[in-house]
Amino acid sequence: MKLAHLFPTFLLIALIITACCMGPSGTQSGTYSVNQEGILELDCPRCTVDETVLSVNENYTLKHVVFHSQEGDVFALAAIPPDPVAGFVLSPGAGVPKEGHQGRAGVFATQGYAYLVLDVRGNGGETGGYPMNLDLDFQKYLAEKWPQYYLSVCDVSSARIYLQGKSEIPVYATGESNGGRYAAIAAALDPGFAGYIGISTSGFSRAGDAYSGDTRKFLLSVDPVTPVEKMRGRSTWLFHAPGDPIIPYSAGQEFYAAFPLPKKFFAFNGTHGQNEETDSVILGECAQIYAPQR
């Protein structure tokens, strides 16, 4: 059964994370389970971290970070100022390596925010893996192996733990396009995140409900709409361009409608993905919250 044809746009996920990278209860290999309603419970594989300083200036230190686990190494870039007031974990869109956001990380770090960019599995960067392939992930699910989609959610939470190990700061899960889906699920299921910021992204409208059995369970397990109620009390900011040629503006609005309060929606000038306008709005919103602390 070809899931790419059954679910032509994307899938969604509802998970409960019980342990992340470096967490005290995580096992080396980790485990997951999905109930009859498609709710996924994750015990993420335990990992260790190596970091290398790439450069240092008066505003921040740029580091190359590697998360090691039995499910493969995941690489990242982290720009960390001396005394950050908050932090961001960015999960980029499909085909965008971590270096594509190095400049953005520097801009945020210069303003006092720790900023880590993941090299998402299968995005063609330093991290291995395959481009999002729901058929292959479904076969792994049936074989009780780790679907890459689930691991990509774990990676976002592992990055949060890394940043908060450097400084006890609020950290936001951030993502654009398909990376926004991984980030949305991680934020909802990991209460350690202060909030979620999604750019040019959407859910899958519970498309899994059109199927039955394991197909339904798996499709629902990867739908970011499913766990959004867990965001209640934590902030959600969504950005979408009316002229987005990849994920329709209406899909972004539908995704926004699913989230509980507090939440904000921003229409921006552009096409698909982050730009200077979205950066400016995010920094402006954060300045209202964190500027008094600086």
At 204 the pLDDT is 95
Which residue from 166, 162, 197, 176 is spatially nearest to 76, judged by alpha carbons? 162
At 2 the pLDDT is 54
Q: Which residue has the higher pLDDT, 275 or 29?
A: 275
Which residue from 89, 74, 87 is spatially nearest to 119, judged by alpha carbons? 74
Region 277-290: mean pLDDT is 96
Beta-carbon contacts of residue 10 (< 8 Å; ≥ 6 apart): 132, 178, 181, 202, 204, 222
Instruction: State yes or no: pLDDT of 251 exceeds 60.
Output: yes
At 41 the pLDDT is 81
Q: What amino acid occupies position 60?
A: Y
State the average pLDDT for the chain: 90
Confidence of residue 21 (pLDDT cuts 50, 70, 90): low
Instruction: State yes or no: pLDDT of 36 exceeds 60.
Output: yes
Exposed / middle / buried, residue 246 (Cβ in 10 Å: 0-12, 13-18, 19+): middle
| Percent of the chain residues topping a pLDDT of 90 | 83
pLDDT, tens digit (0-9, with 9 covering 90-100), for 57-73: 999 999 999 999 999 99
pLDDT, tens digit (0-9, with 9 covering 90-100), for 154-190: 999 999 999 999 999 999 999 999 999 999 999 999 9
> At what angle are helices 148-166 and 134-142 packed, to 10 degrees?
90
The CA–CA distances, whole Å, from 211 to 215, 218, 231, 234, 264 equal 6, 10, 27, 32, 33
The 10 Å CB-count burial string (b at 16+, else e) for 185-218 is bbbbbbebbbbbbbbbbbbbbbbbeebeeebbbb
At 40 the pLDDT is 77
At 10 the pLDDT is 34
Q: What domains are there in the chain, each with its CATH number?
A: 52-204+227-293 (3.40.50.1820)
Look up residue 13 and give its DSSP letter.
B
**Which segment of 81-95, 216-230, 236-250 scores lowest on mean pLDDT?**
216-230
